[in-house]
């Protein structure tokens, strides 16, 4: 019986596809094997500091054929063995010509080229937050929307969200942080900075600007949903 593909298998397939699509056969300015090996080592190093999984398990999960192979590759890049690095970790980012790196939980961050959308995108984000707030107040199931806002803040600021709380508390924490993160990204020309979910069967590619646009495009539906909820409440209220 064949084992199901792992996250590393999906990533390898994505890298091979990206290399095939480039006439030079390279990925982000590196040979495909170099790019693949570097990112998988970055992912392994992140898992070493973010989890308590064994080094052998991490090596296997990141696609290395054995722990010895992983340890040699890790020492070449980081200068020490995995166990030594885990005891006194530094940044998991390995220098590259393109500044394309692993980004938790399982993707890649592509650097921005610079853009200047003015204040419009921030105003759109504020409207989006207001509408989500109305739905949260009325008990609507908007966990996905709040989760998107948290994910955006994490990408923009590298601060992971705390999702082990009520939806109300999560929204209260993220509402201002989301608008601030959108403003920061817009002001620093990072709207075209892109996140690639390259460790899944069907890789996705979405820029920070596209993430905001995707959420803001839900505005009409959110407004209609809020109005429907309010209408239902009025119908149920005997004093109305």
CATH, residue 84: 1.10.10.60
Quote the strand ranges of the chain, DSSP E: 26-27, 30-31, 101-103, 107-110, 194-197, 204-207
- Say whether both 158 and 94 belong to one domain: no
Q: Compute the mean pLDDT over every residue in the chain, rounded to the nearest whole number.
A: 85
- pLDDT of amino acid 198: 92
Instruction: Dump pLDDT digits (tens) for 5-17.
Output: 889 999 999 998 8
Domain that holds residue 87: 7-101
pLDDT beyond 90 at 177: yes
Q: Are 84 and 94 in contact (CB under 8 A)?
A: no
- Confirm whether 115 is domain-assigned: no
Look at residues 101, 128, 162 and tell me which one is the last residue of a structural domain.
101
The structure's pTM equals 0.67
- pLDDT of amino acid 72: 97
- Say whether both 96 and 143 belong to one domain: no
Instruction: Dump pLDDT digits (tens) for 88-119.
Output: 999 999 999 888 999 888 889 888 765 555 56
- Say whether both 59 and 11 belong to one domain: yes
- Say whether both 25 and 126 belong to one domain: no
- pLDDT of amino acid 226: 55
- Confirm whether 111 is domain-assigned: no
- pLDDT of amino acid 135: 84
Tell me which of 18-27, 35-44, 83-92, 110-119 is least confident.
Answer: 110-119
Of the candidates 142, 124, 222, 221, the residue with the CA atom closest to the CA atom of residue 182 = 124
- Confirm whether 194 is domain-assigned: yes
- Say whether both 230 and 126 belong to one domain: yes
Most confident of 11-25, 129-143, 177-191: 177-191
The average pLDDT across 30-54 equals 95
In this structure, how many other beta carbons lie within 10 angstroms of the beta carbon of residue 188?
13
- pLDDT of amino acid 232: 55
- Say whether both 95 and 124 belong to one domain: no
* Phi, psi dihedrals of residue 72, rounded to the nearest 5°: -65, -45
- Say whether both 230 and 134 belong to one domain: yes
Task: For residue 19, give the 3-state DSSP assignment.
Answer: helix
Counting the structural domains of the chain, the total is 2
- Say whether both 228 and 139 belong to one domain: yes
Angle (CA) 126-132-134 rounded to 5° is: 105
């Amino acid at each position: 019986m064949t084992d199901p593909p792992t996250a590393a298998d999906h990533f390898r397939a994505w890298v091979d596809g990206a290399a095939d699509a480039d006439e030079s056969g390279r990925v982000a300015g590196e040979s495909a094997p170099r790019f693949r090996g570097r990112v998988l080592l970055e992912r392994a190093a992140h898992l070493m500091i973010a989890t308590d999984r064994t080094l052998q398990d991490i090596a296997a999960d990141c696609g290395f054929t054995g722990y010895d192979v992983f340890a040699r590759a890790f020492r070449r890049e980081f200068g020490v063995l995995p166990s030594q690095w885990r005891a006194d970790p530094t940044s998991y980012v390995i220098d590259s010509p393109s500044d394309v790196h692993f980004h938790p939980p399982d993707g890649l961050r592509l650097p921005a080229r610079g853009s200047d959308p003015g204040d419009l995108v921030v105003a759109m984000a504020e409207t989006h937050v207001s509408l989500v707030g109305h739905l949260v107040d009325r008990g609507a199931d908007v966990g996905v929307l709040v989760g998107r806002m948290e994910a955006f803040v994490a990408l923009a600021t590298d601060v992971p969200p705390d999702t082990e709380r009520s939806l109300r508390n999560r929204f209260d924490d993220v509402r201002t942080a989301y608008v601030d993160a959108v403003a920061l990204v817009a002001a620093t020309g990072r709207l075209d900075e892109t996140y690639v979910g390259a460790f899944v069967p069907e890789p996705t590619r979405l820029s920070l600007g596209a993430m905001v646009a995707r959420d803001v495009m839900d505005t009409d539906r959110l407004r209609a949903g809020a109005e429907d909820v309010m209408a239902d409440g009025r119908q149920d209220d005997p004093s109305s």
